[in-house]
Chain A
Amino acid sequence: NAGVTQTPKFQVLKTGQSMTLQCAQDMNHNSMYWYRQDPGMGLRLIYYSASEGTTDKGEVPNGYNVSRLNKREFSLRLESAAPSQTSVYFCASSETGLTNEKLFFGSGTQLSVL
């Protein structure tokens, strides 16, 4: 039972570098999400994908891009990393994207931007 798998688990970047966080789910879910978790701020939605082929901005999309490569995979890209993007990033998925659904989360990626 893999569920939601994120890679890498840890990453250190220098300001201005780029990187892509990978996420895959094996539950045949339609909707996928990227959240960031910052101390004292809970989790905030960066982008989400209601279904394959669609993506939409969440609360804090600036500085990020996403790609829903197929039904299983949803990647998050930082084109030019900034120290403000130091955070823990979580990918999640849900069956259909309705507001009453529970989310299934990956184990997170701890990103530090120096």
Chain B
Amino acid sequence: AQKVTQAQTEISVVEKEDVTLDCVYETRDTTYYLFWYKQPPSGELVFLIRRNSFDEQNEISGRYSWNFQKSTSSFNFTITASQVVDSAVYFCALSGQGVTGANNLFFGTGTRLTVIP
């Protein structure tokens, strides 16, 4: 069964600090997709990135970067020079089929990031 673990429940950093959000996943699938979503205080989840299991290249998008390592089943997310607008709950998710066969996204429990000005 698919499982995503985000061990960090809450993180607080001071503005301009770097912060890494951890994500560890479990799957028996050989082909799968990993995602990060951001949930700002407004509540709506916003897609950040998607990686497939065959592409282990790290990705950088502005202040955001992602480190995908199959050897450790991890897909960590780093924010460089954090800003107050980065304050949100961040979810890591893994694609797969649930027990009913439905295509599903399996979400971690989320990490609440607070950036202090």
Contacts and interface: CB of A to CB of B under 8 A. Distances in A.
Nearest to A98: B103
Contacts of B114: none
Contact of A105 (B44, B52, B103, B108): B44
A48 B37 CA distance: 19
Given A56-B102, A59-B98, A102-B35, A42 B110 contact: yes
A35 to B, nearest CB: 8
Contacts, number: 69
Interface of B: 4, 32-33, 35, 37, 42-47, 50, 52, 91, 93, 95-110
Interface string A33-60: 0000000111111001010000011110
Of the four ranges (under 10, 10 to 19, 20 to 34, 35 or more), the interface on chain A belongs to 20 to 34
Contacts of A104: 47
Nearest to B42: A107
Interface string A78-114: 0000000000101010000111101111111000000
